[in-house]
Amino acid sequence: MIKIKPLSTNAAWQGRRFKTREYIAYEKELFTLLPKQIKIPDGKLEINYVFGLSNKNTDYDNYIKQFQDVLTKKYQFNDNKIYKALINKVDVKKGCEFISFRIQKLL
């Protein structure tokens, strides 16, 4: 165990960050591709992500925040309810990239 207070993203950056055109397009496309509705359980949540990536040199955590922010906006829940996450990175061929997810009640 390392006795240090974790640094939040908000504390790590100065000033306001603005969405790029690429992010806005990603958000819009994702809204149309995501299921229309899903049931978000009450209470503490567990979320599982699988990112199929063609670039083997990318960090597994580069994609979580943007995707999760779109999920919370689409399904109208607060991501502070997420207490456990499982993140998998899968190597795929270029053009075969994907994201899958599952949200469930924390057991």
Q: What burial letters (b/e) apply to 16-33, b meaning 16+ CB within 10 Å? A: eeeeeeeeeeebeebeee
- Whole-prediction pTM: 0.88
What mean pLDDT comes out for the span 24-51? 96
Note the pLDDT tens digit of each residue in 43-99.
999 999 999 999 999 998 999 999 999 999 999 999 999 999 999 999 999 999 999
H helices present in 42-90, as ranges: 64-75
Question: Which CATH fold topology does 41-107 show?
Answer: 60s Ribosomal Protein L30; Chain: A; (3.30.1330)
Per-domain boundaries in the chain: 41-107
